[in-house]
Structure 1
């Protein structure tokens, strides 16, 4: 009897089940998420607008993103191509209130577990069926992020339009979409920007906030804007509580006054969305109701607790010292070589000329630092990624520097002469717009253009180095205002130029060098070899930017040019010399334009594989900052190393510290994860990660662990004890340092 009853019930429900089926597409399944499209009706008869739902069913700990993803990620995007009988241009996707995810200062917004995005789309002809072809590009993230595409199809007939079984679920998520309009139950009454000695903030006053609610405030402005979570200030504005959001990343020094933004406020089950315009700081209506205001403010990683004046003088001293130390860094060796030869040439000249030459070089250094500061300021104002030494990520710059170094090496080998007097005269005439002078010797002419250009050349080759003290000063400058950038870079230039200024003040220092003689040919040959070594290093960096084939083409062009220059030097036929010089020029041009025809490698060296073992057996993993928090939560200790082929200090750290037996032994533990990022080529993810810690140059090394989830930043020039101690501290096992 029971079986007959169930069979009869099945026959009765079968038509309704058949009707319900078309109201959904098939699931598009991935390991981390399943996606489908739903319809609130099972047909389009007499329907002029369809309510659809884009449903994501996510695996545990996976998420997809809101319309403004935050500091990372991107929201789902729909392509309606192939759909018929609907006005795809008028389709409106609605976004339920998201959840904030805060990981190591990165703020992202999205959804976990399950979400349905309501979509309203007009029907063109209700008497015809609707065919939906929906391509959804989305990003799902957990410990890793995986981009995916869902290809969904749904056909709705024109002979019915009953409410489907999915209508209720779609409306449940539609109810979570923030309210808009002029009569909101809660609203932003005022928004303005303020700052203190440590950071800049947006202040938001909330009207009619539900009693006892802890609100979250999401501010949408330009794509580069980033704001921290709201913190109560303990103040009120006309009786409305005020919350403070730290301005982060590229927007730190930006002025938001009069800027139009969108504020979304979440308070329990209540969510509102409101357009706002940033005003000026109110002069009245503010009442302090909490004397412990400072404890509620977000802290910055570089907050030293000192007052602003003291910090400025300390940072200024570090800038001077950092610039001075640049003179002894390995990447400045070619510049020191050129200056040694210049000093030898000047030692036989009069005291005044020696002084002017070194002052001109110091001015060249200062002007170069001002040019770099100006370029970084323009990038900062434009919202771009800025960093110390980033010109070494540009193939054109690397190619030009390689050509210059090779030509200087040819000059050192005596293949052609660039005498100090001729270089000074030509450069001075170009700078002063004078016609070339004849009949004057160099000592009488006194042209300083060549020495000025030597100082500029010194600065260009010095910037890949981020010596101790330099990184702190540069980070302070790039995280501050435009004035901070120029002030710090001026002090860096003065520190770098200090040896030249000392010789200018006491020219007899240069005269202590031996008198010119046959030994100078040996010195010039050795210095030529040093310059060739620098050229090879530049080519190796260039290979990381444009690939081995492109760098080989540049090298081949310069080898051909050098051979032609050598042939011109050796030939006794004067008529051949112009032809050989022209061919050498063409070879140089071939080297110059070779990068434009080269295809860069698909991935950087450090991040090309999922896991790599270096030449001494250390298991470096690719840079994945979004996984650090989860690794630490699992009890792991993570050493993050940001390096680049053009960073000489990075290579020094690797050889003298990281790859030593004692440090390798300390890092050879199951719970220690080694994570390496390669900044040889531009990488916005790495640039954002560095900026989060107010670092804009490399080397960058930090250790994260259960006892140090916010990270322990290491100095630019590493020490063995420093690395071992930081790992032991972050792990919470001091005994590790003795293993």
Structure 2
């Protein structure tokens, strides 16, 4: 269609949308067109410069969460935005730049929408010699559509902006980051038998967790248009991604059916939710073959919730939570008091777990939305946090050993909700590295779901973790199964100081692995000072000032948290491995797969106890090494002990919120994700099923690129 026909079609759609408001029984009079439902604001990124590009932003904010806006091609329904500018002579507006849209299917119709606040950028070209100091305010009339699942309302925003008063707006950093960047290589497209095929140059190591192609053109000639709601198919052929999009044949007048196919297609390729690139395609040859790209589908939400609860329950027996079980065991033992005391402690413990899980999840989502490359258990990648945990574990071990005792800090007193709450917080905080097999899908989905649903998943994880102790607190029959309180509890308390001391020792080892020798010895000195302070100030003659020891320990810990991270070493010695792996990188993975050999990639961290258990059980074994040598398996290891944006992105693209992650690549095929719990012979079986190759073949090709540090 020409421009006039397009405007006429949009006007008709707007009319139908307005008339639809009158259809419900008893409906009120048609509302006036305004921007009340999705309010628009015109904002400048500083002032204009003669001969340059001036970036403006249209920032849209819906009045409630039920309203959504549309991409330039709205899909099967809706209406794209129309902009009418009032600019000085010689000035011109470029094409609007949109974020990656989302898919919303209502009644079988696909909508390309934006949920929540979103921003569209528009570049303004300023001519050379323009007097930018004496420019009248510019004007804009924006016509767009605001919809809920049941209702659509045309919107009109009449906006004005004074260039002379424009100032830098810090929000532009975030807005620019949300815009889909432009792919620097041109794509080809072909239309064959009601199928649109587009070949997009994309590196083979680019991971696609949830690919989808948004085509900007609504008409493709000869009465064809994309079938937006039907399944898209993706293939790989080397560095070329091939997308196949079904087309619908419309019953249109003959003059429209005779229109040729367009000479150019524009669109956005989404890699995953809110992440993608813009592309431009021209007519050309598109290969018919390739390896299918698996599309990861998010399970139903109730399955994710069930998985998160099951994962939380499983955390109660995971090795990384065992030190916290000592605290919980004491709490359960002292629950032999009154029903009211048991109920208060159970609820307080549950509240501590829930608040910790939701708080960590909210912080994780906030950091990721701000552009930080972080994943689940990110706090254990921070040296200051590990120092704080070491001090806490040391203090708890000293308390359990009887070196000091505080009235409201004692871990064996009855009816103290504050102690149960603190125990719950600590249990959740330390449990985060153990992303068990039931939690993998739920936590991976939490990174791409809307914030409310994501936080519900984190809360479900906390509920599962707290459920056993909560049941003990609320159900008298379960409490009657526990041993009665007595003098044995003091002995049990001292015995339980051993696993907490081992926890402190493990955190001290992590300090050496995370920050190097100087940092590690500084952490050891901190732990020793805390023990001395608490032991000395916990004696009887200090009983009148029971908080003095804890306050002194807190001051020393605060000083250590402020100072010790400054001595963290840039490089830490890489842990040895029987498999002699290459450090992970996308280029190293691409090189490994190019050898035509099987490839095994594992992602681990020194603070991930379940990772270390898997390594000792299945990976670091002579049988595994021999099987890998016979099959010529190339091995790569991604060490996530420290923050690594490349590894974080790779994990996210594979639906993993954290480690462990294990991938097996057969020659010429996409990676297969292995279970998070590996059996002793799991890798041996995979290697034995692969054809035999000379020992070590393929690994040496990667060795020159391997780094010596982490």
Q: TM-score range by the shorter chain?
A: 0.5 to 0.7
Q: 1:373 aligns with which of 361, 364, 367?
A: 361
* Counterpart residue number, 1:429: none
Do structure 1's residue 553 and structure 2's residue 565 form an aligned pair? no
Q: Over residues 396-437 of structure 1, what are the superposed CA-to-partner deviations in whole Å (9 max), with x where a residue is unaligned?
A: 21111111111111111111113458789xxxxxxxxxxxxx
Q: Which runs of 5+ in 2 are unaligned?
A: 1-183, 187-208, 222-238, 251-255, 696-710
Pairs within 5 Å for 1:8-87: none
User: How big is the shift at 1:263?
Assistant: 4.9
**Paired residues, number:** 460
Q: Which of 221, 225, 233 does residue 245 from structure 2 map onto?
A: 233
1:596 paired residue number: 565
* 1:366–1:493 Cα contact (<8 Å) kept: yes
What is the CA-CA distance between 1:332 and the residue it aligns to? 0.8
Q: Is residue 356 from structure 1 mapped to residue 356 from structure 2 by the alignment?
A: no
- Partner in structure 2 of residue 19 of structure 1: none
2:437 match: 468
In structure 1, what is the equivalent of residue 428 of structure 2? Answer: 459
Report the Cα distance in structure 1 between the residues aligned to 2:384 and 2:418, rounded to whole angstroms.
Answer: 24
Query: Per-residue deviation at 1:382?
Result: 2.0
Residues 296, 320 of structure 1: alpha-carbon distance in 2 compared, 3 angstrom cutoff: farther
Between the aligned partners of 2:242 and 2:451, the Cα distance in structure 1 is 27
Change (3 A) 1:199 1:491: farther
- Offset from partner CA, 1:418-457 (integer Å, 9 cap, x none): 3458789xxxxxxxxxxxxxxxxx87xx662332222111
- Give the structure 1 partner of residue 10 of structure 2: none
After superposition, the Cα gap between the structure-2 partners of 1:638 and 1:491, relative to the gap in structure 1 and judged at 3 Å, is same
Are the aligned partners of 2:291 and 2:669 in contact in 1 as well (CA < 8 Å)? Answer: no
Q: For the aligned residues, what is the CA RMSD?
A: 3.9
1:563-578 alignment, distance < 5 Å: 563-570=532-539
Look up the match of 1:274: none
User: What's the secondary structure of 1:415's corresponding residue?
Assistant: coil
Deviations 1:22-67 (A, max 9, x none): xxxxxxxxxxxxxxxxxxxxxxxxxxxxxxxxxxxxxxxxxxxxxx
Change (3 A) 1:495 1:199: farther
Structure 1 position 393, deviation (Å):
0.5
Deviation at 1:629, TM superposition (A): 3.4
The answer as to 2:602 corresponding to 1:641 is yes
Specify the alignment match of 1:535 in structure 2: 504
Among 407, 431, 446, which residue is 1:477 paired with? 446
**Alpha-carbon deviations, 1:675-711, whole Å to 9, x = none?**
11110000011112112211121111111121x6201
CA distance in 2 between counterparts of 1:201 and 1:351 reads 59
Cross-structure match for 2:329: 340
C-alpha displacement of 1:232: 4.3
User: What residue number does 1:3 align with?
Assistant: none
Could you tell me how far apart the structure 1 residues matched to 2:664 and 2:185 are?
40
Structure 1 counterpart SS, 2:669: strand
Q: Give the stretch that moved more between structures: 534-543 or 648-657.
A: 534-543
Whole-Å separation in 2 of the counterparts to 1:490 and 1:580 = 35
Secondary structure of the equivalent of 1:247?
A: strand
Q: Could you say if the C-alpha distance between residues 619 and 584 of structure 1 is closer, same or farther in structure 2, counting changes exceeding 3 Å?
A: closer
Which has the larger Rg?
1
3-state DSSP of counterpart to 1:641: strand
- For residues 99-126 of structure 1, what are the alpha-carbon distances to aligned partners after superposition, in whole Å with 9 as ceiling and x for unaligned? xxxxxxxxxxxxxxxxxxxxxxxxxxxx
Residue in 1 aligned with 2:488? 519
SS at match of 1:567: helix
Structure 1: distance between partners of 2:328 and 2:382: 26
The answer to whether structure 1 residue 395 and structure 2 residue 383 are counterparts is: yes
Shift in CA distance, 229/482, structure 1 to aligned 2, threshold 3 Å:
farther
CA displacement at 1:562 relative to structure 2: 0.9
> Aligned runs of 1:270-281 on 2, under 5 Å?
none
Q: Is the 8 A contact 1:554 1:594 kept in 2?
A: no
Say whether the 8 Å CA contact 2:538–2:549 is kept in structure 1: no
TM-score (norm 1): 0.56
Q: Which residue of 2 aligns with 1:313?
A: 302
Find the aligned partners of 2:247 and 2:290 in 1 and give their Cα distance: 11
Which residue does 1:302 correspond to in 2? 296
Choose from 649, 652, 670 the match for 1:710.
670
Looking at structure 1, the residues matched to 620 and 291 of structure 2 have their Cα atoms a distance apart, in angstroms, of: 41
- What is the CA–CA distance in structure 1 between the aligned matches of 2:333 and 2:462, rounded to whole Å? 24
Give the TM-score of the pair, scaled to structure 2: 0.58
CA distance in 1, matches of 2:621, 2:271: 38
| 8 Å CA contact 1:477, 1:485 repeated in 2 | yes
Does the C-alpha gap of structure 1 residues 205 and 297 become closer, same or farther in structure 2, counting only changes over 3 Å? farther
Alpha-carbon deviations, 1:344-397, whole Å to 9, x = none? 2232x1012112211221122122221122112212322322311111101121
**In structure 1, C-alpha distance between the alignment counterparts of 2:595 and 2:607, rounded to whole Å:** 35
Residues 1:202 and 2:202 aligned together: no
- Per-residue deviation at 1:466? 1.4
Alignment of 1:236-255 (within 5 A): 245-248=268-271, 252-253=273-274
On the 8 A contact 2:346/2:472 being kept in 1, the answer is yes
Secondary structure at the aligned position of 2:630 is classed as: coil
Which residue among 480, 502, 507 is the counterpart of 2:476?
507
Could you say which residue in structure 2 is the equivalent of 1:328?
Answer: 317
Structure 1: stretches of 5+ with no match in the other structure: 1-175, 179-196, 210-226, 270-294, 425-441, 607-612
Matched, 1:725 2:701: no
Alpha carbons 1:551, 1:595 under 8 Å: kept: no
